[in-house]
Amino acid sequence: MIIVFGSINIDLLMSVSSLPAPGETVLTHEMQRSPGGKGANQAIASQRAGSKTKFVGCVGSDSDADEALSLLRYQEVDISSVLFSDRSTGCAIVLVDNNGENMITVASGANLDIQADQVDGTELEDSSVLLLQQEVPLEQNIKLATRAHQTDTKVVYNFAPAGKLSEELFSVIDYLIVNEVEASTIMTPSIYDHPVEIAKTLCHEYGVTVVITLGSEGALAVSKTTLAEVPAPSVKVVDTTGSGDTFCGYFAAEIAKGSTSIESCLEVAIRAASVACTRYGAQSGIPHRHDVF
């Protein structure tokens, strides 16, 4: 089983001709609402990839909570440990331009009340992968990852959105997933011109397998023994909003299935993320496994 510990939001999606510059107002014809949040998205992705998944998060005691949880329920993701808070359910405003690029702002709300002890010790021991992101309090990620590190559970950490670097957290994870911007944030001030060099440095410094996604160029990974670079298939991009979360969920699912080839994990995750780019919406765009192969 995969445990995904992370955020859950309501996404307010708006299609615009171009993303606004500072001080600019951009008009759009309509707004769509849908469930979202990096944690919830990645839980949907790992479940659709074929791995039994439990999502652990926190929603508000408000009308948005049911909507935020709706697709997790529909996909039969285990949400029995979701906590209800007095804060409002998290909300994200997502702008997507004609090229499929996006701009996102998140009001964390109830996500700030998530607690590591929502995950039962026995469940953690019985799980093969713990998947984390950065839209919930860092100290709770550290507490849960530290507990997982004391078991055989592999910890996959998606450093997104980029934020404060925690040496303590990096010491108890097995896989680090970042995009190019997030990778350069960790290495600031960066003296490296190529993502491979950044990955090698991070791997050497922290002893973890480092995965860097490269958008339309694919992804690469560096472990203590392996360097793998996998290109992405050419697709017509509609919306990139859920592609990173799709990649993380599918990558975690491959690890949970016992794949020992980092290159194979990359290939599956990239194919799934590429399909997600051809669809609109974060959770609605995440493909099922039969759509990928």
The answer to the question of residue 193 being in a domain is: yes
Q: Domain total for the chain?
A: 1
Name the residue with higher pLDDT: 27 or 186.
Answer: 27
User: For residue 105, with 0-12 CB atoms within 10 Å meaning exposed, 13-18 middle and 19 or more buried, which class applies?
Assistant: exposed
How confident is the model at residue 126, as a pLDDT? 94
The answer to the question of residue 24 being in a domain is: no
- Domain with 130 in it: what CATH number? 3.40.1190.20
Domain encompassing residue 132: 2-18+29-285
The answer to the question of residue 293 being in a domain is: no
| Contact assessment for residue 265 and residue 154, using Cβ atoms and an 8 Å cutoff | no
> What does the block give as tokens for 248?
């993380």
Which sequence positions are flagged as catalytic? 245
How confident is the model at residue 8, as a pLDDT? 99
Say which residues have a Cβ less than 8 Å from residue 27's Cβ, sequence separation at least 6: 16
| pLDDT, tens digit, 9 for 90 and up, residues 31-48 | 999 999 999 999 999 999
The answer to the question of residue 291 being in a domain is: no
Question: Average pLDDT for residues 146-175, to the nearest whole number?
Answer: 94
Confidence of residue 185 (pLDDT cuts 50, 70, 90): confident
How confident is the model at residue 163, as a pLDDT? 87
How confident is the model at residue 188, as a pLDDT? 63
Confidence of residue 266 (pLDDT cuts 50, 70, 90): very high
Question: Average pLDDT for residues 232-252, to the nearest whole number?
Answer: 95
Alpha helices in the chain (DSSP H): 38-48, 63-74, 121-126, 138-149, 167-170, 180-186, 195-206, 243-256, 262-277, 289-292
Whole-angstrom distance, CA of residue 162 vs CA of residue 170: 14
> What does the block give as tokens for 153?
């559970």
The answer to the question of residue 290 being in a domain is: no
How confident is the model at residue 73, as a pLDDT? 98
Confidence of residue 190 (pLDDT cuts 50, 70, 90): low
Confidence of residue 101 (pLDDT cuts 50, 70, 90): confident
Q: 220 by DSSP, 3-state: which?
A: strand
Question: Average pLDDT for residues 53-63, to the nearest whole number?
Answer: 98
What mean pLDDT value characterizes the chain?
A: 95
How confident is the model at residue 91, as a pLDDT? 98
Cβ atoms within 10 A of the Cβ of 191, count? Answer: 8
Confidence of residue 224 (pLDDT cuts 50, 70, 90): very high
The answer to the question of residue 80 being in a domain is: yes
The answer to the question of residue 23 being in a domain is: no
Whole-angstrom distance, CA of residue 133 vs CA of residue 138: 9
The answer to the question of residue 145 being in a domain is: yes
